[in-house]
């Protein structure tokens, strides 16, 4: 909660500063922009197909477990303990395998999503930067900051004070540091 209050105060301060120094601030909604792009439907369809494949594999694994469990339940009372224990071990292994598959499938789905979305986000980010530069915006913010996205989507490098802060701390900026200030 303190983070969001601090963040809101920082954004308000930035807005006040920009207004007083006549710098333009804009905002861009990633979700809206992304949902309007032709790539959106293609990515959505690919993710649905990928998810359906994973769900189908999971369904097959569950069917196998179910069949083996029914077989185990059908064992007669005279079945030797060694065979029962072997079937119990097999069932336990299958159950663990299904749980591991579910975890792996979730991670795989997230990886696939990132793989498909990352190039589109880079394309949108480049377009935001170009629009901001062409129209004289100093800052472009994301109004969806509570959704976990970036708050600041673009900042004019002439407003980057990183080197000044490093110097204030007695640190000489390194070779990869911005050198606008």
Judge whether 92 lies within some domain: yes
Average pLDDT value over all residues in the chain:
80
Domain residue limits at 24:
2-168
Share of the chain residues as helix, strand and coil, in percent rounded to the nearest 5:
70, 5, 20
Asked if pLDDT for residue 129 goes beyond 60, the answer is yes
Judge whether 162 lies within some domain: yes
Judge whether 91 lies within some domain: yes
Judge whether 53 lies within some domain: yes
Judge whether 77 lies within some domain: yes
CB 144 within 8 A of CB 35: no
* pTM for the model: 0.64
**CB-based burial label for 157 (10 Å; 0-12, 13-18, 19+):** exposed
pLDDT single digits (tens) 160-169:
655 665 567 6
Judge whether 90 lies within some domain: yes
Which pLDDT band holds residue 177 (cuts at 50, 70, 90)? very low
Radius of gyration of the chain (CA): 27
The string of DSSP letters for 21-40 reads TT-EEEE--HHHHHHHSHHH
Judge whether 67 lies within some domain: yes
> Based on the structure, what is the number of domains in the chain?
1
How many Cβ atoms sit within 10 Å of the Cβ of residue 57? 12
Sign of CA dihedral 48, 54, 58, 64: positive
Judge whether 179 lies within some domain: no
**CA separation for the pair 26, 28 (Å, rounded):** 7
- Looking at mean pLDDT, say which of 21-25, 74-78, 146-150 comes out highest: 74-78
């Amino acid at each position: 909660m303190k983070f969001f209050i601090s963040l809101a105060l920082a954004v308000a301060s930035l807005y006040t500063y920009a207004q007083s120094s006549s710098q333009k601030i804009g905002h861009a909604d990633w979700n809206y922009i992304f949902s309007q792009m032709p790539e959106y439907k293609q990515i959505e369809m690919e993710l649905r197909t990928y998810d359906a494949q994973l769900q189908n594999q999971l369904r097959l694994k569950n069917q196998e477990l179910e069949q083996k469990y029914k077989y185990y339940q059908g064992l007669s009372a005279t079945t030797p303990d060694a065979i029962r224990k072997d079937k119990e071990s097999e069932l336990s292994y299958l159950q663990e395998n299904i749980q591991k598959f579910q975890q792996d499938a979730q991670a795989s789905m997230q990886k696939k999503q990132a793989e498909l979305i990352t190039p589109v986000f880079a394309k949108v980010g480049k377009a935001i930067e170009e629009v901001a530069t062409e129209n004289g915006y100093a800052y472009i913010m994301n109004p969806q900051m509570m959704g976990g996205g970036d708050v600041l989507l673009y900042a004019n490098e002439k407003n980057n004070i990183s080197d000044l802060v490093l110097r204030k701390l007695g640190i000489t900026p390194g070779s990869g540091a911005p050198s606008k200030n």
